[in-house]
A and B are shown apart, each in its own frame.
Chain A
Amino acid sequence: MKILICISNVPDTTTKIKFTNNNTTFDVAGVQWIINPWDELALTRAIELKETNAGTIENITVIHVGLNTSDPTIRKALAIGADKAIRINAEAKDSYFVAAQIAEFVKKEPFDVILCGIESSDYNGFSVGGMLSELLDYPSVSALSSLEIANAEIKLKRGIDGGHEVISIVTPFVGIVQKGIAKEARIPNMRGIMMAKAKPLQVVEPVLIDNFTEFVSFEYPKPKATCKKIDPENVKELINLLHNEAKVI
C-alpha cells in the first residue's frame, strides 16, 4: 500500500500577519515556515501506521506545490519519516490550481491512500482534499479523527455534528484529516535529519491550469474596543451590561 500526503508550507501559527504592495501581497519577511499543522498530523499518522503494519505499507510520499523556498519544509517532512518527496514547481494560485497539479501527478503515479489536512492555516481554503478526490473520481471522507489499517482493511472515524461515525472504505480514497488523527506531531531527531538529506526530492514541472479565483487584496481586522473591566466585587454588573448594553442575554 502506498500513501501520499499533500503538504502545505505555512507561516508558523504565532506569526504576526502583515501585507505589502498596498495590501495585495502577504509579507514573507522574517516569517518562520512550518508544515501546515493538519498535514503534519496526517504524516505522523501515516508513519505510525507504517511502523505497526510493516509489510502492508510500503511507502510514504509527500507532495507539495510550491517553489524551492519550500524545500526546508519538505526536508522536515522527510526528516520526520516520509520516504520520498515530490515538489511541483509552481507558485500556488488557489486551491483548484493546487488540487489540479497534484491530480495530474497521481494520474501517472497512483496511490492507495491520499491524505490531506482539512484546511491550511494561511488561506483557510478547506478545499484541496475534496477537489483532488473529485478530479481523480475517488471517494473522499472528511474530518477524519482516526485512521486504522489492519490486514488491508480500513476503518475511519469522521466527525459529524454532535459526535462521530465509524466508516469502512476500500482503496483508493482521499482522507481529509482533522485534529485527533495522531496524538502529537513528531519532532525530527538528528538521525532523521541526516537521513532526510539522502532521501529523494523530485521536482516536477507544472501543467497549465487556469485558476478559478483570484486574491485581490487583504485587510486587517478592525481593532477591538477596549475591554470594559468589571469590579470582581460587583459581578452583577456584568450580567446587567450583557442584558442592557450588549443585549445578548
Chain B
Amino acid sequence: MSILVFAENWDGKFKKQTFELVSYANSLAKLLNSSVVALSIGKVEDDELKKLGNYGATKILNVSDNRLNTLDNKAFTITIAQAAIKENANIIIFPHNITGKAIASRISVRLKAGLVTGVNGLPTSTDPFTIVKKSFTSKAFANIVIKTPVKIITLFQNAFGIIESPASPVIEAFAPEINDSDIKTIVKEVNKVTGKILLTDAEIVVSGGRGMKGPENWGAIEELAKLLNGATACSRPVSDEGWRSHEEHVGQTGKIIAPNIYFACGISGAIQHLGGVSSSKYIVAINKDPEAPIFEVADYGIVGDVQKILPEIINAVKELKS
C-alpha cells in the first residue's frame, strides 16, 4: 500500500502547497504504516523533483509527456489513476485548488473511490476512515466517513503546514498510456502573470474594500503587499465596480484563501466575504466604523480612516525591516 500525492508545479517549480501536501501525506503514512509516492506531471528538473524528498516522499514518479503540458482533465485523470494502480495506492491526495478539484472528482469515479474535498487535518479515525472538512462555506465543519477501499481527499491550503522529514527518494520516469483521442481540451491562448506571488499561495494578503473609496487609492495596498512579500485581494463590490480584476475577489463566490495574515482594509465584513477569509490564521481589520462585522472575526483591529492608517502601517513595517 502507498499514499499517492499529486505534486503540482507552477512553471517548473513546486508550489508551497505541494510541499504541504507531501508533509501531510508523510504524517498520514506514519499513522497507517505506509509510504509516500509523489507524482509530478510536466517539465520539472531533477533537482526540483528531489525537493519532494525533504518532506518525506520516498518515490517520485516523473511524467514528461508533451501532451500533458496543459491541463486536460480526462488525460490527467487517466495518468493519475494508472499511477495509483501501479503503486497500489489506497489514498490519493490533491491540493484543494482549481486543478486538484477538477481531477479528483473524475478519479473518484474511475477508481470507485470516495472523495472528500477541502479537508483540513489528518483523519480523526483511520477505521472507519473519518475526516473533517469545511462545509456551509466555513460556517461549519462536517465529519465524513469514506466507505470505499480507495480514498481520495483534497487538502485545504495552509491547513496543515510544511514539515521537513528528509528521505532519499527514488526518481522514476512514468509513461502513462493515453490515446490522442482522450485529449479534447485545446488550449488556444494562455494569459497569466509569472514571477508574482499567487493569491491562493500567499502567506500574507492585503485586501481592500469599498472603504478604499476608489481604484486610485490602491497604491498603499500594493506597497504593503510588496513590502511583506504578499499578494493583493479585494472584496466583491470592488471587483464588481471594476476597480480591481475578478481574479482578486475573495469571498464566498470568489477565491477562498487561508493566509497567515489577512489585512482587511476598508472592508465591512459581510457574511459572504467572511466565508472566503475566515480560515486566515490572523485577521487585521482597519475600518472607520467600530460596529463593522469584520471586527467580530478580526484578531487585531484599528478603528479609523484607512487612508491615513495604511501609510503609517507601511512606515512601521519599513522600520521593523531596517
**Contacts of A227 on B, CB cut-off 8 Å?**
285, 295-301
CA distance A225 to B295 in the complex (A): 11
Interface size on B, as a range, is 35 or more
Q: Which residues of A contact B302 (CB under 8 A)?
A: 229-230, 232, 235, 238
In the complex, whether A199 has a CB less than 8 A from a CB of chain B is no
Q: Is B105 a contact partner of A161 (Cβ separation < 8 A)?
A: no
Contact of A130 among B73, B139, B200 (CB under 8 A): B73
What count of chain A residues pass the 8 Å CB interface test?
79
> Nearest Cβ in chain B — how far from A247, in angstroms?
9
Within 8 A of A (CB), among B84-109: 96-99, 101-109
**Whole-angstrom distance from the CB of B237 to the nearest CB of chain A?**
13
Question: Within 8 Å of chain B (Cβ to Cβ): is A124?
Answer: yes
- Please tell me which one of the listed residues B196, B303, B317 contacts residue A232 in the complex, with CB atoms under 8 A apart: B303
Q: What's the least CB distance linking A185 to chain B, in Å?
A: 10
With A124-B135, A227-B298 already in contact, the answer to whether A173 and B106 are too (CB < 8 A) is no
Assess the A173–B133 pair: CB atoms within 8 A: no
Do A216 and B130 have beta carbons less than 8 Å apart?
Answer: yes
B146 and A212: CB pair below 8 A? yes
The answer on a CB contact under 8 Å between B74 and A230 is no
Interface of A is mostly: mixed
- The answer to whether A166 and B187 have CB atoms under 8 Å apart is yes
A95 within 8 A of B: yes
**Which of B39-47, B112-120, B161-169, B211-219 lies at the interface?**
B112-120
Q: Is the CB of B185 within 8 A of A141?
A: yes
Asked if A167 and B186 sit within 8 Å, CB to CB, the answer is: yes
A195-249 contacts to B, CB under 8 A, are 211-221, 224-225, 227-230, 232, 235-236, 238-243, 246, 248-249
Taking a contact as CB atoms closer than 8 A, the residue among A96, A128, A140, A248 that contacts B114 in the complex is: A96
Q: Looking at A122, A176, A229, A242, which has the most chain B CB atoms within 10 Å of its CB?
A: A242
CB distance from B275 to the nearest CB of A (A): 8
Q: A residues within 8 A CB of B142?
A: 123, 215-219
Q: Which of A172-203 contact B (CB under 8 A)?
A: 173, 176, 179-180
Q: How far is the CA of A179 from the CA of B248 in the complex (A)?
A: 12
Closest residue of B by beta carbon distance from A246? B282
Please list the residues of chain A having a beta carbon within 8 angstroms of any beta carbon in chain B.
11, 13-14, 17, 19, 37-38, 94-96, 99, 118, 121-131, 133-135, 139-143, 145, 155, 158-170, 173, 176, 179-180, 211-221, 224-225, 227-230, 232, 235-236, 238-243, 246, 248-249
| CB pairs A–B below 8 angstroms (28 shown) | A38-B253, A94-B114, A96-B109, A123-B142, A126-B154, A130-B73, A130-B108, A142-B98, A142-B101, A161-B200, A161-B201, A162-B10, A165-B189, A166-B187, A166-B190, A167-B186, A169-B185, A213-B115, A215-B143, A216-B145, A218-B142, A218-B143, A224-B299, A225-B299, A228-B300, A235-B312, A238-B316, A248-B203
Query: Which 10 interchain pairs have the tightest Cβ spacing?
Result: A130-B105, A163-B192, A212-B114, A232-B304, A142-B102, A139-B184, A166-B189, A134-B109, A235-B312, A239-B316
